[in-house]
Structure 1
Amino acid sequence: MRIRVSAVLLLTSLLFAGMVAAEDEQQPAKMSAENRAAARAALEEFNSLIGGWRGVGQVRRGSNRGAWLEQAEWVWQLKSDQPALRYVVEKGNQLKTAKLTYDPESKSYTLEAVLPDGAKRNYVGQVEDDKLVLQSPADADGTVYRITVTRLNEKRTLVLFQKRGAKQKRFGRVAEVGYTRQGTKLAEVGGGSPECIVTGGKGTSTIDYKGKTYYLCCSGCREAFLDDPEGIIADAKERLKKKRAKKAAAAKKNS
């Protein structure tokens, strides 16, 4: 009888030890105080993102086809062992929620994202030229996804979504969301005044490029122009072309 009881106790102990070991494997190792401080310092680089934002999403820059509006908010998450920034999107087309963390050991950022359909996708990356560039591992089809966060200033942020197929060499644009901090007034629509080359709003300052002068409505548009002047100019020409066509159609209809 004693042998049987001892065997049962031994088996129970082994099972309990196995359960504890399995649970320990599932739990991430706690960060040291030094690493936690380093992770928080790295995330503080993005303090300008904290708060609420109004977003305008576009599949193609300058086109309203497939465009959408969304609300987003960045908040600190400091109660857990690992500091993080949480990103929550309302009516988002590309993301639903996400958590941004930093690993001092690998010196890289990780974005754990939940997509609008509930699927999950992780991205890893670093800061490149003041932009946070995050890339996912290839999925079952060999597709790689990339997110680029560009902070134009305290009031404007761009988030670019791209992907690259298994047989493709370059990333292609999926969509881009331009965020304006909540509580910030949008540029006024120009009426007889020079128009901003970026938004079409009222131009209040100028910038020279290849011998020509262009108008801008704010510092955010200036940085956007400097980031991609040829793309901005091409979009503005297309916008002007459509505006003239619409005006001509209206004049013809009223004649």
Structure 2
Amino acid sequence: MKGELFGVFGLVALSVLVRGDDPSSSKDNPTGPSSGSRRSVQRALEPYNDWVDTWRGVGQPKRGSSKGAWTEEADWAWKIGRDSAGLQFEVKDSKLFQSGLLSYDPEHKKFRFTAKQADGKSRDYVGDRAEQNKLVLVSADKESDDEQRLTIQMLHADRMLLLAESKPAGQSSFSRLAEIGYTRKGGSFASGADSGPKCIVTGGRGTITVAYKGKTYYVCCTGCRQAFLDDPEGTIAEAAERAKKEEAERKKK
């Protein structure tokens, strides 16, 4: 079992180093977000805004058993560039994961996850949003002829579940490798999720402040903070456009 666990895909995000809080005196950075393609990818990922945070996880190869179990700490954060957007995941002390990036392919309308497994090998996953807003990602290994499946689901505002499964060659169905139950670190998210400030970049929950031209804006993570600092004018314009569309949708209802 241990060998299988360490041979499974993985996820990790690197925190973005931010230089300064107020970019109003600097020149425009050409790496800032402005691409239409990037915006479409970002919109597809925005239903998973609630993932952005720090989580405490308990992994169990067998549900209800402490044998082989472990604890870990994970962070989800946005990674946004001029022509790309994705959700990165950083995890410490996991028996399954190292690193990965979740993105979206607008042309094929598929979610894509590029993972670095615990053994250091890379593996690509493709999937769709399923019922109850689950994200199901599947990968086939041509060398070993096995399939692996990752299912991520928000059970409620402060609880997330990640199920890792495998289907070796010759096996007709997937079998469980491990399940990780995550609890949001730092208190309840639900109490302020709807009424609190929103991230200027993605519309998620705003938890970090950033200043521009004497005004304070909110972002949800260091990735969005850097995206704002790279192109504050473009980000503010996009947020205004997004707010107009949301208002128009509300009036239709």
1:137 CA displacement: 2.0
Identical aligned pairs, as a percentage?
Answer: 39
What is the rounded CA distance, in whole Å, between the counterparts of 2:48 and 2:151 in structure 1? 13
Match of 1:161 in 2: 164
Q: Does 1:57 align with 2:89?
A: no
Give the secondary structure class of the aligned counterpart of 1:39. Answer: helix
What is the rounded CA distance, in whole Å, between the counterparts of 2:37 and 2:83 in structure 1? 11
1:182 CA displacement: 0.4
Give the secondary structure class of the aligned counterpart of 2:181. Answer: strand
Q: Does 1:179 align with 2:193?
A: no
Give the secondary structure class of the aligned counterpart of 2:173. Answer: coil
Match of 1:96 in 2: 98
Match of 1:48 in 2: 50
Select the structure of larger CA radius of gyration.
1
What is the rounded CA distance, in whole Å, between the counterparts of 1:62 and 1:167 in structure 2? 28
Structure with more helix by fraction: 1
Give the secondary structure class of the aligned counterpart of 1:45. Answer: helix
What is the rounded CA distance, in whole Å, between the counterparts of 1:90 and 1:74 in structure 2? 12
What is the rounded CA distance, in whole Å, between the counterparts of 1:152 and 1:177 in structure 2? 12
User: How do 1:1-255 residues align onto structure 2 when only pairs under 5 Å count?
Assistant: 33-79=35-81, 81-129=83-131, 130-184=133-187
1:134 CA displacement: 0.1
Q: Closer, same or farther in 2 for the Cα pair 1:100/1:152, shift >3 Å?
A: same
1:34 CA displacement: 3.0
What is the rounded CA distance, in whole Å, between the counterparts of 1:99 and 1:33 in structure 2? 19
Q: TM-score, normalised by structure 2?
A: 0.59
What is the rounded CA distance, in whole Å, between the counterparts of 1:164 and 1:183 in structure 2? 36
| Native 8 Å contact 2:34 2:83 kept in 1 | no
**Structure 1 segments (4+ residues) deviating >4 Å:** none
Q: TM-score, normalised by structure 1?
A: 0.58
1:79 CA displacement: 2.5
Match of 1:196 in 2: none
1:45 CA displacement: 0.9
Q: Please report the RMSD computed on the Cα atoms of aligned residues, expressed in angstroms.
A: 1.7
1:82 CA displacement: 1.0
Give the secondary structure class of the aligned counterpart of 1:96. Answer: strand
1:70 CA displacement: 0.4
Q: Match of 1:169, as an amino acid?
A: S
Q: Closer, same or farther in 2 for the Cα pair 1:143/1:47, shift >3 Å?
A: same
Give the secondary structure class of the aligned counterpart of 1:47. Answer: helix
1:97 CA displacement: 1.3
1:32 CA displacement: 9.2
Give the secondary structure class of the aligned counterpart of 1:136. Answer: strand
Q: Match of 1:64, as an amino acid?
A: S
Unpaired runs of at least 5, structure 1:
1-30, 186-255
| Higher RCO (CA < 8 A, seq sep 6+) | 2
What is the rounded CA distance, in whole Å, between the counterparts of 1:79 and 1:54 in structure 2? 28
What is the rounded CA distance, in whole Å, between the counterparts of 1:32 and 1:144 in structure 2? 37
Q: Match of 1:174, as an amino acid?
A: L
What is the rounded CA distance, in whole Å, between the counterparts of 2:62 and 2:186 in structure 1? 26
1:139 CA displacement: 3.2
Question: When the two structures are aligned, how many residues end up with a matched partner?
Answer: 155
1:165 CA displacement: 1.0
